[in-house]
């Protein structure tokens, strides 16, 4: 049996190489890493800038957050972005000038901010209770999201593309008469995909979090990546065996990508989530992945038991479906 397994592994590996699977994963890795390092890690938003038109130098010099302008027109132009706050000192009584941004609370705060800058006493320091800075938080957040997206897509699509190619070549029909144990047929594919996903996870984490931070979180991240990879690969296998062609499969994939992962991303990115999201199975996998990256791994035994149970169930279903398909193929 072991010799058969090794042969199957070798065959599946060759299939993955010829399908440019590794090349595409490498391209995704480069694209994601460039985006994280050059764009997302540096994203920030500055506080409302305060523009001042002060022809008679009434405002004491060198105020923090203040930019001086030399005409009323320049002040109005600078405030046209509905974000900046303007102060005009050309009259006897200073005028606070701004364009509404459309949000009452934000406008109120901008007004208070303008007054505070005018007042001059804006000292103080809030207590910091977390351990991350903004850049590291951005890196952890987006790496977790990209990894989740990639594993959901690649595990699912990768296995399916392999299987469809085999279906086309008649490999399933041939296996029906070969003395190869059927679970081994599924296992060899799962093992290869799991290994390639783990290597992808390792590289993505080390490149984008840095070696020191990566070492700290890697054990938890690899565990979650393994769970997600196996579940998605098994779902991919099941769908690929059941659905007649790759086009129908990609239709299913499109629906999965848009309607299943989008709410999860929205909840993860903005904190906007409805109560119903707890019934979304992918949400828990996503939160577990995010938790792993933020050094707060899920410790609930029920989560791991459910994942393990799901994998067993999916494996048995795939096995049965494969048996059914092989019987159909004669």
Partner 1 sequence: MEGLKYQLKSVRRDKMCILTFLLPVVVGIVIHLLSGVNLQSISENRFGVWADHIDADTVDWLQTNGIVTQYETPDELQAAVNDPATQMIGVLQTGNTIQTFISGDELEMNHVIADTLPQIYENQAETLSITKTMIAAASDSDWLHSLLIVMTLAAAMFMGCTFNAMNIISEKEDGIEFINQVLPLTAESYIIQKTLLGFIGGTLSAIITALVCVRIEIEQVLPFLFIILLSAYISAFMGLFIGYFSDGLMAGIASIKVLMILFLAPPIFFYLTVPDGSILFRLSYLLPSSATFYGVMDLLNGQTKALFSSFMALFTHAVLWTIIYILLRKRSEQKQR
In degrees rounded to 5, what are phi and psi of residue 221?
A: -65, -45
Q: Residue 1 or 129: which CB sits closer to partner 1?
A: 129
Q: Which is nearer to partner 1, 163 or 314 (CB)?
A: 163
CB-based burial label for 243 (10 Å; 0-12, 13-18, 19+): middle
CA distances from 283 to 5, 146, 280 (A): 35, 14, 5
Q: State the minimum distance, in angstroms, from the CB of residue 224 to partner 1.
A: 16
CB of 303 to partner 1, least distance (A): 18
174 vs 155, 166, 167, 233, 299, CA distance in Å?
Answer: 25, 10, 10, 23, 45
CA 269 to chain centre: 9
Give the pair of three-digit tokens for residue 202: 């390792």
Closest to partner 1 by CB, 53 vs 315, is 53
Alpha-carbon Rg of the chain, whole angstroms? Answer: 28
Calculate the alpha carbon distances from 10 to 4, 6, 189, 250, 275 in Å.
10, 6, 10, 27, 47
CB of 114 to partner 1, least distance (A): 9
Which lies closer to partner 1 via its Cβ, residue 103 or residue 174?
Answer: 103
Least separation, in Å, of the C-beta of 190 and partner 1?
Answer: 18
Quick one: 9 or 267, whose CB is closer to partner 1?
267
Kindly tell me which of 71 and 306 has the beta carbon lying closer to partner 1.
Answer: 71
144's enclosing H/E stretch is helix 134-169
Provide, rounded to whole angstroms, the least separation between the CB of residue 245 and partner 1. 9
Crossing angle of helices 2-18 and 21-38, in 10° steps, is 60
Measured CA to CA, the distance from residue 193 to residue 311 in angstroms comes to: 15
Min separation Cβ 91 and partner 1, Å: 8
């Amino acid at each position: 049996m072991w010799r058969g397994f090794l042969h199957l592994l070798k065959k599946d590996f060759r299939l993955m190489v010829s399908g440019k699977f590794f090349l595409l994963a490498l391209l995704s890795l480069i694209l994601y890493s460039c985006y994280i390092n050059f764009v997302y890690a540096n994203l920030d938003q500055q506080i409302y800038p305060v523009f001042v038109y002060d022809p008679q130098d009434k405002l004491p010099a060198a105020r923090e957050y203040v930019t001086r302008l030399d005409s009323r027109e320049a002040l109005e132009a600078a405030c046209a972005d509905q974000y900046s706050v303007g102060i005009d000192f050309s009259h006897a009584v200073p005028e606070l000038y701004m364009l509404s941004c459309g949000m009452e609370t934000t406008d109120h705060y901008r007004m208070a901010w303008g007054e505070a800058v005018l007042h001059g006493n804006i000292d103080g320091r809030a207590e910091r209770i977390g351990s991350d800075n903004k850049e590291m938080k951005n890196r952890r957040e987006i790496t977790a999201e990209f990894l989740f997206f990639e594993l959901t897509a690649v595990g699912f699509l990768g296995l399916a593309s392999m299987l469809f190619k085999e279906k086309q070549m008649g490999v399933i029909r041939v296996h029906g008469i070969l003395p190869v144990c059927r679970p081994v047929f599924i296992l060899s594919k799962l093992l290869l995909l799991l290994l390639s996903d783990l290597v992808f996870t390792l590289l993505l984490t080390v490149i984008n979090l840095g070696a020191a931070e990566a070492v700290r979180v890697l054990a938890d991240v690899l565990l979650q990546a393994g769970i997600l990879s196996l579940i998605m690969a098994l779902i991919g296998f099941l769908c690929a065996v059941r659905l007649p062609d790759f086009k129908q499969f990609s239709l299913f994939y499109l629906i999965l990508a848009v309607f299943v992962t989008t709410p999860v991303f929205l909840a993860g990115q903005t904190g906007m989530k409805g109560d119903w999201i707890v019934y979304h199975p992918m949400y828990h996998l996503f939160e577990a992945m995010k938790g792993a990256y933020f050094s707060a791994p899920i410790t609930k035994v029920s989560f791991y038991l459910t994942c393990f149970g799901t994998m067993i169930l999916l494996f048995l279903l795939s096995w049965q479906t494969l048996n059914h398909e092989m019987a159909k193929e004669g």
